[in-house]
Structure formats: structure tokens, C-alpha cells
Amino acid sequence: MSYSTLLVDIDDHGVAVVTINRPDKLNALNADVIRELGHWFEGAASEERVKGVLLTGAGPKSFVAGADISRFKGLGPIEGKKFAEYGQSVFNQIEGLGKPVIAVVNGFALGGGSELALACHMRVASTNAIFGQPEVNLGILPGYGGTQRLPRLVGKGLATELVLTGAMINADRAYAIGLVNHVFEPDELMEGAKKLLMTILSKAPIAVSLCLEALRAADLPQTEGLRHEAALFGQACATEDFQEGVDAFLNKRKPDFKGR
Ligand code: COA
């Protein structure tokens, strides 16, 4: 399928760069963007060529400046709930991809843009990045997961302040509170993100996928999460890559992981 709002480039290492391409609207999430993201990530789960994803926005100014506000005009309670549920389902798909997804935040990450970055497994930002949940300025609340993922990442106190005030924070502040993993100069951002992803892709792929699943279970009560972790650990022990990793260590050589 060809996309009207996404640019996709997959290199020989399996790094897919997915770019939301509405720079004239600061890459705001209209219905097409959400639908196309859902379609692409659904396919990417089983697409052999895709090993990991860098998700970014087109242009130098914005990652995603939020849901497209023109969609809100006349939105009633029933459609509003459906709007939130659909966006949440697409963002859940991103979080549950089973392959690492890094948000490459090259400017504004506001509202749904911040929530999109939160649904990715990690975030790297350029020095000009601005994060915020300004929904209260429009008389609504974050509806694409922000009230749930932000407190889990930065703590409830800070998340409450950000959501209730709509304050915008810069990249340094986002780094200080653990919202982003690394900050790069704008012209080094994509390279820095790719380096981080390539480090992950050099590891045993099934183990990486199981790690992502186990980390996702950190949202569960701890006893349940630990049960989950033990089951996933058992699964990892059934892989050839586990045998290879242990053998390589004991024989002082580099492992050659096959993803089996
Ligand atoms: N939805 C729809 N259009 C948006 C948008 C959004 N969330 N964010 C930006 N745009 C559009 C603007 O309307 C403008 O379009 P136009 O040129 O046709 O008028 C274009 O993108 C450029 O934005 P502009 O406001 O001119 O840029 P700026 O540098 O002056 O301001 C922002 C940048 C991000 C501060 C400002 O665009 C803004 O506040 N956007 C809304 C952020 C928001 O509330 N997001 C959460 C939504 S729930």
C-alpha cells in the first residue's frame, strides 16, 4: 500500500525510518495519519525486513504537534470516546510491535505527539524539542494514553503538573525527568538514534522481543509481572540464540545470533 501521510525507508540492516509527512501542519495527526500508522505497524510486526523502527516527523520544526485540532470541531461525546479508543488501539499496536521502536523527536511533541512518543519504547530528542500536553487549553484531556503512560514514565507528581498546566518543556528538562533517553544536536539526531537502534539490533532478536514484552508487563502488579518475566525467561531458554550466546561467552568469541 502506498501512503499519503507517511514516508517509509527500510535499509539493509532492517532499520525502518517512518516519517510522518505533513510538515505544513507540523505533522498533526489527522485521520489519515492515524489510519496509516495503524496499517503500517500492523504489517511491520510480521515483516521480516523490519527489525526495528525510528519514528519521526518531517521538517526541522516538529515531530508531531498533536492531534489535528480541526478534527475536534463538533466532536460529541460518543465520537470523542471512539476517537480516543481508536488512537489508543493504534498506539498500543506500536507499543506491542515486538521490535524496538524509537521516537526521534525533532521539534514539537505536543498532545498526541507527546503521546505518540510515549507509546514508543524509547525517545531521543533534538536540542530544539519541546514536549507538552496542552489539551487543557482546548477543554479536553490527553486521550491517546498520555494520562497513563506519562505518569508511569516520569512519576505521577510531574505528570500531573504537565497535564494540568499544559506547560511546555524543552529537551534538557525532558532529559532530566527521564522523558527522553538522549539529546542530540538537530543534525546529529537521526545518526544518534540509528546508532542506539543498531546496538539493540546486534543483540539476540528473540531476547530483545521478550525483553520488550517483559518490560511492558511492568505496568502490571509486581507479582503478576514477575510471573510473566519467569515465563518469558523460560521461552528464551528454548532458543538457539541462548545456546549460542552462552557458548560464545564461554569460548571467548563473538556470538552469531540467528534469531532462532
Ligand atoms: N492541529 C492542526 N493544525 C496544526 C496543529 C494541530 N495540532 N499544530 C499546528 N498546526 C498548523 C497551524 O494551524 C498552521 O497551519 P496554517 O499554516 O494552515 O495556519 C501550521 O500548522 C503551522 O503552525 P503555526 O501555529 O503557524 O506555527 P507556530 O510556530 O506559530 O506555533 C505551535 C507552533 C506548535 C506552538 C502551534 O502550532 C500550536 O500551538 N499548535 C497546537 C498544539 C496543540 O495544542 N496540540 C495538542 C492538540 S490536542
Q: Which helix (H) or strand (E) holds 38?
A: helix 31-44
Grid cell, residue 119, equals 507509546
Q: What is the mean pLDDT of residues 241-247?
A: 97
Does the domain at residues 205-250 carry the CATH identifier 1.10.20? no
| pLDDT at residue 215 in the model | 97
Tell me, in angstroms, the distance from the centre of ligand 1 to residue 20's CA.
15
Tell me, in angstroms, the distance from the centre of ligand 1 to residue 27's CA.
9
Residue bearing the CA closest to ligand 1, atom 30: 26
Nearest ligand 1 atom to alpha carbon 26:
21
Ligand 1 proximity of 33 Cβ (cutoff 6 Å): no
Residue bearing the CA closest to ligand 1, atom 40: 65
Confidence of residue 149 (pLDDT cuts 50, 70, 90): very high
Tell me, in angstroms, the distance from the centre of ligand 1 to residue 241's CA.
47
pLDDT of 1 higher than 80: no
Residue bearing the CA closest to ligand 1, atom 10: 25
| pLDDT at residue 85 in the model | 98
Tell me, in angstroms, the distance from the centre of ligand 1 to residue 213's CA.
35
Known active-site residue 229? no
| pLDDT at residue 146 in the model | 98
Q: What is the mean pLDDT of residues 224-241?
A: 98
Spot the catalytic one: 79, 135, 161, 185: 135
CB atoms within 10 A of CB 229: 18
Contact 3, 37 (CB under 8 A): no
| pLDDT at residue 92 in the model | 98
Tell me, in angstroms, the distance from the centre of ligand 1 to residue 64's CA.
10
1 or 195: whose pLDDT is higher? Answer: 195
Instruction: Give 44-69 pLDDT, tens digit per residue.
Output: 999 999 999 999 999 999 999 999 99
Indicate the pTM of the whole model. Answer: 0.97
pLDDT > 70 in the chain, percent: 100
Spot the catalytic one: 42, 115, 161, 185: 115
Instruction: Give 71-90 pLDDT, tens digit per residue.
Output: 999 999 999 999 999 999 99
Instruction: Give 86-143 pLDDT, tens digit per residue.
Output: 999 999 999 999 999 999 999 999 999 999 999 999 999 999 999 999 999 999 999 9
Residue bearing the CA closest to ligand 1, atom 27: 26
Residue bearing the CA closest to ligand 1, atom 20: 25
Known active-site residue 191? no
Fold topology of 6-201: 2-enoyl-CoA Hydratase; Chain A, domain 1 (3.90.226)
Ligand 1 proximity of 134 Cβ (cutoff 6 Å): yes
Confidence of residue 15 (pLDDT cuts 50, 70, 90): very high
Confidence of residue 2 (pLDDT cuts 50, 70, 90): confident
Q: Rounded to whole angstroms, how far apart are CA atoms 196 and 17? A: 13
Domain boundaries, the chain: 6-201, 205-250
DSSP-derived 3-state class of residue 168: strand
Q: What is the mean pLDDT of residues 249-254?
A: 97
Beta strand spans in the chain (E) = 6-10, 15-20, 52-57, 62-64, 101-105, 108-110, 122-126, 130-132, 168-170, 182-184
Nearest ligand 1 atom to alpha carbon 110:
45
Instruction: Give 165-197 pLDDT, tens digit per residue.
Output: 999 999 999 999 999 999 999 999 999 999 999
